[in-house]
Structure 1
Amino acid sequence: MIRVLIVEDEPLIAEAHREYLGRLGGFEVVGAVTTAQQAIRATSSAAADGTPIDLVLLDLGLPDARGIDLAAALSGIRPDPDIIAITAQRDLATVRSAMSHGVLLYLLKPFTFAAFAEKIRQYLGYREALGGGTDAVSQRDVDRALAELRTTDTRRTAKKGAAPDTEDAVGRAVRDSDGGLTASEVAATLGSSRVTAWRYLERLAEDGAVERLTEYGNTGRPQVRYRWRR
């Protein structure tokens, strides 16, 4: 079992992390904390007890410290945990800084289960490449591990004809709305066709990120409203 610490100050998102890891299997969530101080304390204590944290799911927008500073501090603990940043911070400077301070992978909010699972699959491939049971690795092992971090599941995207940027934009539009959006409303927001919006909304629904709400108007013709799962 891979021991995981969730560092997230939004309880609903932290619970989503826990639920998604449970669906994937092979992970033990040993704690969920909301501040940088709690994260340092939990990680240091686990290392001292001989039960170190293997993976930290880290939100970069914490109330008491910059997530990037926390990533750097966690990298100084021995044994140091691997870090996946899961955050809404999408500016290039933050992404570059995070990667240079020990973050292996970067997942933007809002995210679907499929996007979360893809990052976890990349991480597992990375661990497998370096998990030979000894301290020494070959150049081939290192190259393979780095390749795993750069590889995405393009087969899934190609199969469904989906573009990650568009899916991200559709998910963000629904999540930012008060009571959900219809396919027509998403299309108007993004400047896309209704069919395109509907296709991505259905993909998000299949992944469990949004729920479908059927509404009946005066004409009796139903329409589906998609609402982000809280």
Structure 2
Amino acid sequence: MTLRVLVVEDDPVAADAHALYVGRVPGFTVAATVHSRAEAVRALDEEAPVDLILLDLYLPDGNGLELLRRLRAAGHTQDVFAVTSARDLAVIREGVSLGVVQHVLKPFTFRTLSDRLSRYRDFRTAAEAHGEAASQDEVDRALSDLRAAPASSALPKGLSAPTLARVTAHLREAASRGLTASEAATALGINRITARRYLEHLVTTGDADRRQRYGQVGRPEHHYAWRGSGPGATSGG
């Protein structure tokens, strides 16, 4: 079973990254990538069937939950992963009422999205294979498997989410040019060793590529590029 995903994200760089992530998870393919509510509606009307929507909640032509409400009224029943920086529990509750099965907070790593997509794939596979739950325990287990957060989601000791967000954003903005730990440190106002720890973390999680950049003198420096933006990137699973 291959699940088709519609990526709805207003930031083109983030949209490309999210599509790249989806394409690397076995059992998923990207049906289309769009950047607004209007484009999302057209894609759902015109594309082949979509199984899952990866939905940014802040779009240039309206709120993502308003889009979802409109889609439900029009008879669209796709499951939704809300992708957002919003931490308002009222927003999360409203999303759940509209069929959001996962909230993925920005910025996130490939590992985070991959875990949630894999759980969703397993949930769909089990639901279609068995059709009917034999007991309350089986229902509870299926929902728990779908919604549970991965044990590996915590950052390594000494790393903070706000600084990781800043490093991630700066690396994305560098695009194919990439950067070194020294360049990141200067731009972000942190020391080089700290910058390198965050960049190495992004390499470990599969979000960045590391290669050597040779200068005119001295030893080569490690050079980091956002995954999918540089010559060392891969788009496969």
Into which bin does the TM-score normalised by the smaller protein fall? 0.7 to 0.9
CA separation in 2, counterparts of 1:29 and 1:214? 32
CA separation in 2, counterparts of 1:9 and 1:151? 28
CA separation in 2, counterparts of 1:4 and 1:137? 30
RCO (CA 8 Å, sep 6+): is it higher in 1 or 2? 2
CA separation in 1, counterparts of 2:125 and 2:116? 14
Deviation (angstroms), 1:205: 1.2
- Asked if 1:33 corresponds to 2:34, the answer is yes
Deviation (angstroms), 1:25: 2.4
Aligned partner of 1:106 among 78, 103, 106? 103
Deviates more, 1:19-28 or 1:61-70: 19-28
Q: 1:83 to 1:106 in 2, by over 3 A?
A: same
Aligned partner of 2:156 among 162, 184, 189? 162
CA separation in 2, counterparts of 1:169 and 1:6? 25
**C-alpha distance after superposition, 1:149-194 (max 9, x if no partner):** 332331x468xx736x9464343121344765738949x9689xx5
Deviation (angstroms), 1:56: 0.5
| Aligned-partner residue type, residue 35 of structure 2 | T
CA separation in 2, counterparts of 1:54 and 1:151? 21
Q: 1:138 to 1:94 in 2, by over 3 A?
A: same
Aligned partner of 1:52 among 49, 56, 70? 49
Structure 2: tracts of 5 or more residues without a match: 230-237
| Aligned-partner residue type, residue 182 of structure 1 | A
Aligned partner of 1:204 among 202, 205, 221? 202
Q: 1:133 to 1:141 in 2, by over 3 A?
A: same
Deviates more, 1:63-72 or 1:5-14: 5-14
Deviation (angstroms), 1:137: 7.3
- TM-score normalised over the length of structure 1: 0.73
User: Retained in 2: the 8 A contact 1:36–1:67?
Assistant: yes
Q: 1:157 to 1:64 in 2, by over 3 A?
A: closer
CA separation in 1, counterparts of 2:185 and 2:85? 23
Deviation (angstroms), 1:22: 2.1
> Counterparts of 1:35-184 in structure 2 under 5 Å?
35-45=36-46, 51-78=48-75, 80-132=77-129, 134=131, 139-154=136-151, 156=152, 162=156, 166=159, 168-177=161-170, 182=181
Identity %: 37
Aligned position for 2:234: none
CA separation in 2, counterparts of 1:84 and 1:211? 26
User: Retained in 2: the 8 A contact 1:129–1:144?
Assistant: no
Deviation (angstroms), 1:126: 2.7
User: Retained in 1: the 8 A contact 2:112–2:153?
Assistant: no
How many residue pairs get aligned? The number is 219
> How big is the alpha-carbon RMSD for the aligned residues of Structure 1 and Structure 2?
3.7
Deviation (angstroms), 1:80: 0.5
